[in-house]
Each structure stands twice: as structure tokens, then as C-alpha cells.
Chain A
Amino acid sequence: MDEQTDSANRTLRLASLLTDETVRARVHVVSWQEAVERVGELLVGSGAVETRYIEAMKLVLSEMGPYAVIAPGIVLLHARPEDGVRRPCLALMTLATPVPFGHSQNDPVDLVVALGAADKQAHIVALQELARLLMDQPTLERIRSAQDDGALRAAIDAFDAGPSLGPSG
């Protein structure tokens, strides 16, 4: 792997994508639309996407159906690069009260992830990292039970730093 690719990959590590700006715990929403808006606002606020990306994500859901609820309680939102993505980005939000997205089996959703891909390659790396995170049961539980942004960030940082950092706390 050459220097450039390696450093590109490093900048797509979860810790650099999931910053204080793009991580929120226990957000109050009453509908899936509101959930998409709120997580979208995190991406907009960080400057990573244009405002229209929020509507694009909602459109994908309403046109394609709720298949984006990829696992029980977890939705993975995204639209296309041309829908206003400025740079690869990721936002993660847990909900105070889970809301249905209309999925036949995986509702209601309590963990909302939004992804903005600027190009295919960058996207794959970010997705791999995200998939690893979502497959790590202890981390997933920590994320879902985090009561505030700090605890949520700590859960993500601990995962990103490496597996099995001593006894679970």
C-alpha cells in the first residue's frame, strides 16, 4: 500500500469521521423524517454536505423503502455523491425513544447512522470500519446505552483504539 493510500485510509478512520460535531446521544424525535433531519443536520453543520443532502436521504427512503434498516434497530442512511457531498462523512446518533421506519422486521430504530460518500473508494473503507463497529457487540451496547455525547464518543474511541481494552466497564 503506498503512502498516499495509507494516509487516505487513516483519515477515514472512524475517530476522524465521527467527531464531536457528528455524534449525538439520546436525541428526541417523533418520526423517521425527523430522525433523518436531525442526523442530516449534523453532517450539514460539519460542512461535509450541502443542506439538500437531507432531503436526498429522505427521498431514498421513501422511494426505495425501508431496506436501509439493515439490522434490528439500526438504520444506515445515505444518498449519492452528487446529492451534495463535499467530503466523505459519517454521523451517528442514538435516539431517546426509538421510532419506526416501516421495516417489516427491524423496527423500531434507535441507532441512526448517516453516510456521505464523495467517491466509491473512500466509501468502501468507511463502510468496512463502520461494519466492524456495528458487529462488535460490547461496543454496540455501550453506544446504545450511552446517556450523553461524552459517553457515546468514549464508546466509539475505545473501539477505534483497538479490541479488548481490559475488563468491560
Chain B
Amino acid sequence: MRIATLCGMGFGTSMMLKLFIDDILKAEGLKAEIVPVDLGSFKGTQADIIVAPTDMERHLKDAKGRVVLIRNLVDKQEVKTKVLAAFQEVLGASSGGPS
């Protein structure tokens, strides 16, 4: 499972998101590769799940993975709920048909 966290500059909010998601997955006993990416380098990045701040949505129209938009980047509960839901969705989807 590969999760990309996105921000505009590659070491700001994408890093913060990665740190949060690291904690969240560890607590749930889940494993994933979490890759912080900036918008500039994002094109062509392969990821099952893409976590980004809302208002970045317009930049993600052609994204291939499951897009998760976070309104409040310092709300761990929001990040947890949305990321775990996406995780389950992707796991469920990959059990049938090509990923």
C-alpha cells in the first residue's frame, strides 16, 4: 500500500501529514509506504491513496489513486477517519480485479 501526502512545496504540510499518518497506521497495526510529495513533482507518482489539503483538489483531477481531502490538517481525528476509510476501501477494491 502506498500513500502519497501532498503539499505545494514538498516539505511543509506533506511532511506533517506523513508524521500523522505514520502514527495512525502504527496504532492500527497497519503498514504502508508513506511518501511526501510536492505538487510540482507529483505527476506520475504512483500511489494507492493521495492525501492532500482541500483546495488542492483542482490539481488532482487526473490523479490515479484514491484522493483524500483534509480540511483541517491539524485535526488528527479527521485525518484518521478519512485515511482509514480510504485504506479499507483500497484493500477491498484490490481483492477483486486488477489494481
Contact = CB atoms under 8 A, between A and B. Distances in A.
A120 B14 CA distance: 12
B65 interface: no
Interface residues of A, number: 29
Nearest to A127: B16
A127 B15 CA distance: 8
Contact of A71 (B55, B58, B74): B74
Interface residues of B, number: 24
Interface in A52-73: 60, 64-72
A38 B74 CA distance: 24
A104 B11 CA distance: 23
Contacts of A104: 54-55
Contact of B73 (A71, A115, A124, A128): A71
B55 A65 contact: yes
B61 to A, nearest CB: 14
A109 to B, nearest CB: 13
Nearest to A102: B55
Contact of B8 (A67, A120, A134, A135): A67
Contacts of A105: 54-55, 71
B69 to A, nearest CB: 10
Interface of A: 60, 64-72, 74, 76, 78-80, 103-106, 115, 117, 120, 123-124, 127-128, 131, 134-135
Interface of B: 7-9, 11-13, 15-16, 19-20, 39, 52-56, 58-59, 71-76
